[in-house]
Amino acid sequence: MSQRRVHHVIAHKVSDPGVIEFVFDVLIWTGCIGALTAGGPVYISDCGFKRSFLRSLMQGEDKYIVFHPTLAAIFTRPAAAPAPTSAT
């Protein structure tokens, strides 16, 4: 997915446009999204938790954002998601 598309999806879920970049950074920092490079996907833990470096890998029209495999599996197979738990 392109970075533009990820921003578009976030924009449809938040009411304040000023928080779109914040949400994007949270997705990076938590390892939910990474950059697709010639060598394969790179996530925050693969680059020493250097968010600015990872962000630089995501810049450009030809760059794509990838979801962490666990998160992608949940999107493609909702049954793969953990069962909800009740708070007691």
Each residue of 35-53: pLDDT tens digit?
998 899 999 999 999 999 9
| pLDDT for the residue 75 | 65
What burial class does residue 76 get, using C-beta atoms within 10 Å of its C-beta: 0-12 exposed, 13-18 middle, 19+ buried? Answer: exposed
Q: Is residue 85 part of a domain?
A: no
Q: Is residue 47 part of a domain?
A: yes
Q: Is residue 26 part of a domain?
A: yes
Exposure string of 44-57, with b = 16+ CB inside 10 Å and e = fewer, is bebbeeeeeebeee
Q: Per-residue pLDDT tens for 23-37?
A: 999 999 999 999 998
Domain that holds residue 10: 3-79
Q: Is residue 24 part of a domain?
A: yes
Residue 81 predicted with pLDDT over 70: no
Domain count, the chain: 1
Selection from 11, 54, 9 nearest residue 36 by Cα: 54
Q: Per-residue pLDDT tens for 60-69?
A: 767 788 998 8
Q: Is residue 86 part of a domain?
A: no
- Residue % of the chain over a pLDDT of 70: 81
Q: Is residue 87 part of a domain?
A: no
pTM attached to this predicted model: 0.76
Selection from 25, 68, 29 nearest residue 48 by Cα: 29
Residue 14 predicted with pLDDT over 60: yes
Residue matched to tokens 């928080």: 19
